[in-house]
A and B are shown apart, each in its own frame.
Chain A
Amino acid sequence: MGFLDTLLGRTKPVQPDLDRLFALPSAAVTLAASMSFTPAGAGSVCFRPMEGRAFSDVEDDVRQLLDSDAEKTMPVEVTADSYGFTWMVVRQPPDQFESLVTDLHAVNSTLADNGFGPSLLCSLVTFSGPGQRRIAIVYLYKRGTFYPFAPLPGERRDNALELQVKAAIEGELPLETDLGRWFAVWGAPGL
């Protein structure tokens, strides 16, 4: 935000950065090779629903768009979390990671094209690893950066594992350097 905007109290809504999601498939390959975490077949887009007709229309469009995909076996799940955000969960067989990413991109680009880009919060893709461990790579739309999230039972985070994952995919993805922004997404659907 520029000096004049601050002085006059005009906040410009922040536009999301959509295209970096396509760096995920190559990071998935690296993650599988170095830590044997493989795609779990679920991904989600989290956004803040705006009040009013316009947003709910766009939301319906997105859902129809994804459900009309002929190759898909599972429908899109839509859930609301306790913070008032909506999660759209897309599932694809684990070996079709690229089409999962394409689906996620379809969701966020439809929202952005209709002027709701500032409502996008984050995207999650899940990975499963040795010993039934589940982790997620979180994409922050406004920052254009990724960070790993490894939950443990009882709302605790496995920071050591997160840092290992970070080190493994550092070369593939732009990672969030400010650790204060690695916020926890407890109970994210698909995780």
Chain B
Amino acid sequence: MARTRFAPDRGLTARMGLTMFLLGLVLVAFVLAMVLIAARFPANAGAIVIIGVLIAGGMTIGSLFYSDKIALTAARARLVSPQEAPELHGIIDRLCALADMPKPRVAISETDMPNAFATGRNTKSAVVCVTTGLLRRLDPSEQEAVIAHEMSHVAHKDVVVMTIASFLAIVAGLMVRFAFYGELFGGGRGRRDNNQNMAIVMLAIMAVSIVVYAVSFLLIRALSRYRELAADRSGALLTGRPSALASALQKVDGVMARIPTRDLRAAESLNAFYFVPALTKGGLSGLFSTHPPLQKRLAQLAQISQQIGR
């Protein structure tokens, strides 16, 4: 077998694995806490938990199956044929042949904001979308680098992984809401001591859910940042030009920071899919952001460039 020049990043793999393990652990702790509460107060706690899980499961499956349509509609993007966008299709054709992966559908969004995203639950429903602002500002090799990054998201099934990872946070979020409204409107009927029991149950569920929500939210964001780094890495290795991705990142990041926030309200919900997030804040935001800081991404790309040039 031919030797390989593409050493995997074990540190990144380990951090990603640990984050997913911790998410699993939080899930187990959450289930255990709910079972304990339900066993202690057999009243209606069980029903609330089951309803919460069912609704969250429905939302997760729904967003998995409609992720492509939801994202394309939100970005006001339309699918383009090879005749409409020959260069873009040419780039994607070649990257697919290099990576040996089926060709995703291609979409263009008419926005001046330079960005790109990939969506779809599997390679068949995958869509790679770029904005006209990106096509206008980046030269072909930088466009290719960005598209390779997005195609790595498709190969890593990031939509599925992140949607499943978010399931726990959705359940916990719903439970907080249910328990809160239960507390508000739960009283009135039945015996007095039963009501008091109910109030304690609701408070317990709410407390556990708030903690689980907060912890899983931080873990999901960490996982998202690691997956961005992994996509940068795979994309750079695929094109063999880490520096093209680095220069694309610098260009896009500069433009994104200058664009007024008022334009970006619609874009914020799409952040998790984007190449570069639409809002950047200072301070603690590092822990909450879906993407790693620019410096970190550039440092990784510089290291890859060294590695393949040796």
Q: Which positions in A face B, CB cutoff 8 Å?
A: 1, 6-15, 48-55, 82-85, 112-113, 115-119, 121-122, 140, 142-143, 155, 178, 180-181, 183-184, 186
Contact status B140-A83, CB under 8 Å: yes
Decide if A13 touches B2 in the complex (CB within 8 Å).
no
Contact among B99, B103, B308 for A50, CB-based, below 8 A = B308
Residues of B within 8 A of A117 (CB): 2
Q: Check: B190 CB closer than 8 A to any chain A CB.
A: no
B141, A84: Cβ atoms under 8 Å? yes
B198 within 8 A of A: no
A85: contacting residue among B94, B231, B237, CB under 8 A: B94
The smallest C-beta distance from A35 to any residue of chain B, in angstroms, reads 26
- Contacts across chains A and B counted by CB atoms under 8 Å: 125
Complex: A181 Cα to B5 Cα, angstroms: 27
| Complex interface: chain A residues within 8 A of B97 (CB) | 121-122, 140, 142-143, 181, 183
Contact A9 B230 (CB under 8 A): yes
Q: Does B98 contact A48, Cβ atoms closer than 8 Å?
A: yes
The secondary structure that dominates the B interface is helix
Q: How far is the CA of A153 from the CA of B100 in the complex (A)?
A: 29
Besides A48-B240, A83-B140, A84-B239, 15 more A-B contacts (Cβ < 8 Å) are A6-B155, A8-B230, A48-B239, A55-B309, A83-B91, A84-B141, A113-B2, A115-B3, A116-B5, A117-B2, A118-B4, A118-B98, A142-B100, A143-B100, A181-B102
Which residues does chain B contribute within 8 Å of A112, judged by CB atoms? 2
A-B contact list, 15 entries, CB within 8 Å: A6-B161, A7-B20, A8-B16, A9-B16, A9-B231, A11-B156, A14-B99, A49-B240, A50-B240, A50-B308, A51-B309, A52-B310, A55-B240, A84-B140, A119-B98
Contact B5 A115 (CB under 8 A): yes
Q: Which residues of A contact B239 (CB under 8 A)?
A: 48, 84
Contact between chains at A51 and B90 (CB < 8 Å): no
- CB atoms of A15 and B2 under 8 A apart: yes
Taking the nearest CB of chain B, how far is it from the CB of A92, in angstroms?
26
Q: Which residues of A contact B12 (CB under 8 A)?
A: 9
Known: A51-B241, A85-B94, A183-B97. A13 touches B4 (CB 8 A): yes
Q: Is B242 an interface residue (CB 8 A)?
A: yes
Collect the chain B residues with CB atoms within 8 Å of residue A183's CB.
Answer: 90, 93-94, 96-97
B239 to chain A, nearest CB (A): 7
Q: Chain A residues near B98 (CB, 8 Å)?
A: 14, 48, 118-119, 121, 142
Across the interface, which residues of A come within 8 angstroms of B1, CB to CB? 15
How far is B222's CA from A62's CA once the two chains are assembled, in angstroms?
45
Q: Does B234 contact A (CB under 8 A)?
A: yes
Complex Cα distance, B226 from A121, in Å, reads 29
Given A10-B8, A11-B155, A115-B2: A54 and B20 interface contact (C-beta under 8 Å): no
Chain B residue numbers with a CB within 8 Å of A82 are 140
CA gap between A1 and B230 in the complex, in Å: 15
**Pairwise interchain contact B155-A52, C-beta atoms closer than 8 A:** no
B166 at the interface (CB under 8 A from A): no
Cβ of A181 and Cβ of B96 under 8 Å apart?
yes
Contact of B144 (CB < 8 Å), options: A55, A84, A178, A180: A84
B238 at the A interface (CB under 8 A) = yes
CA distance A186 to B82 in the complex (A): 13
- B17 in the interface, Cβ–Cβ < 8 Å? yes
* Contact indicator B2/A142 (Cβ below 8 Å): no
In the complex, what's the smallest C-beta–C-beta distance from A156 to chain B, in angstroms? 10
Q: Which residue on A lies nearest to B82, using beta carbons?
A: A184
**A11: which B residues are within 8 A, CB to CB?**
99, 152, 155-156, 234, 237-238
Tell me which of A12, A13, A115, A180 has the highest count of chain B C-beta atoms within 10 A of its own C-beta.
Answer: A13
B271 surroundings in chain A (CB, below 8 A): none
Q: How far is the CA of A82 from the CA of B94 in the complex (A)?
A: 12
CB pair B308–A51 under 8 Å, yes or no, is: yes
B residues less than 8 Å from A85 (CB atoms): 94
Instruction: Give the Cβ gap from B19 to chain A, nearest Cβ, in Å.
Output: 11
CA distance A112 to B4 in the complex (A): 9
Q: Which of B16, B97, B234, B309 has the most CB of A within 10 A?
A: B97
Task: Let me know if B310 and A118 touch, CB within 8 A.
Answer: no
Instruction: Tell me the smallest distance from the CB of B150 to a CB of chain A, in Å.
Output: 13
Q: Taking the nearest CB of chain A, how far is it from the CB of B291, in angstroms?
A: 14
